[in-house]
Amino acid sequence: METLVERIVLIGFMGTGKSAVGKLLAEKLNWQFFDTDTEIVKRTGREIKEIFEKEGEAFFRKLEAEVVQSVNAYKGAVIATGGGTAVSVPEFIKTPGTLVVYLQTSFSRLCERLRGDTSRPLFRDVDMASQLYLTREPRYSELADINIDETDLNLEEVTAKLYEIVREKI
């Protein structure tokens, strides 16, 4: 028998809309919503960019691992992760009762969306971000139970598509 879905974790690269879609989906399902980056900001009182600059990426990844473990214990929750979470701590994401959804978008579309964004330390250099995208893509796909190609969809369309898929599983 298939395990019932108790929570949905959204994974994918920076700019795929994990937080926006997660929030909309949680509203539709009447579930709680968590965003791992927001939880880190709440716990530390610091912006992600500042944590990267002052403490370094390794320190940020430790916080991220702690946060994802604690929110992944909730039932009836939609969780938006940071773009690196699925790669650094996949074992804390794929847990019993968790449906992992990969929001996939082409790199060029992500560049359009994130043009001028200064809040993401790992998207400042486009060549570096492109390399990261190539190495992460297969890892996201491998971890996900569901893969949604949202390149040509807006946030509402992605949410509606996802809602149709998950409502039969919960």
Residues that bind ligand S3P (CB under 6 A): 14, 18-19, 37, 48, 82-84, 120-122
Closest residue to ligand S3P, judged by C-beta, is 82
Please say whether the beta carbons of 119 and 46 come within 8 A: no
CB of 79 to ligand S3P, least distance (A): 12
Note every long-range contact of 112-118, with CB atoms under 8 Å and residues 24 or more positions apart, other chains counting: 113/15, 114/14, 114/15, 117/15, 118/49
Of 37 and 150, CB closest to ligand S3P: 37
CB of 1 to ligand S3P, least distance (A): 34
Tell me the angle at which helices 155-166 and 18-29 cross, rounded to the nearest 10 degrees.
50
CB of 77 to ligand S3P, least distance (A): 17
Within 72-146, where are the H helices?
A: 85-88, 90-93, 107-114, 126-143
* Tokens (6 digits) for 105: 């978008």
Of 3 and 119, CB closest to ligand S3P: 119
**Whose structure tokens read 């949202």?**
150
Of 29 and 80, CB closest to ligand S3P: 80
Of 40 and 162, CB closest to ligand S3P: 40
Determine if residue 97 is left, alpha or beta; phi over 0 gives left, psi from -120 to 50 gives alpha, anything else beta.
Answer: left
Of 3 and 130, CB closest to ligand S3P: 130
CB of 168 to ligand S3P, least distance (A): 28
Alpha carbons 113 and 78: distance in angstroms, whole number: 23
